[in-house]
């Protein structure tokens, strides 16, 4: 179950100090919650930044290029889950 509120914010802040963050933009903002749940289940810490954007953090990955590759693979898998599920990494 994803953390919420103060516990979630504390974990994200702690994680950000040493982990690479990656920003993802979705084509359809209505699917942000779905993507956040999917990535959380796959071991990512995810924070909604804007209407159609999230930041993703991988606690277990120390190399930025490895985290980016893992996230790209997870996004490709998520995109197979339903119509309109499209997302891209826009910054790192």
Q: What is the mean pLDDT of each run of 10 residues along the chain (92 residues)?
A: 51 53 94 96 94 89 82 96 92 72
Residue 21 lies in domain: 5-91
pTM: 0.77
**Residue closest to 38 by CA, chosen among 90, 3, 79:** 79
CATH of the domain at 84: 3.30.70
The count of domains in the chain is: 1
């Amino acid at each position: 179950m994803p953390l919420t509120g103060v516990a979630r914010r504390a974990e994200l802040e702690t994680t950000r100090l040493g982990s690479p963050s990656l920003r993802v933009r979705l084509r359809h903002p209505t699917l942000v919650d779905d993507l956040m749940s999917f990535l959380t289940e796959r071991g990512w810490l995810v924070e909604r930044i804007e209407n159609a954007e999230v930041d993703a953090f991988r606690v277990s990955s120390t190399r930025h290029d490895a985290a980016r590759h893992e996230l790209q693979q997870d996004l490709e898998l998520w995109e197979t889950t339903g119509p309109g599920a499209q997302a891209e990494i826009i910054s790192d």
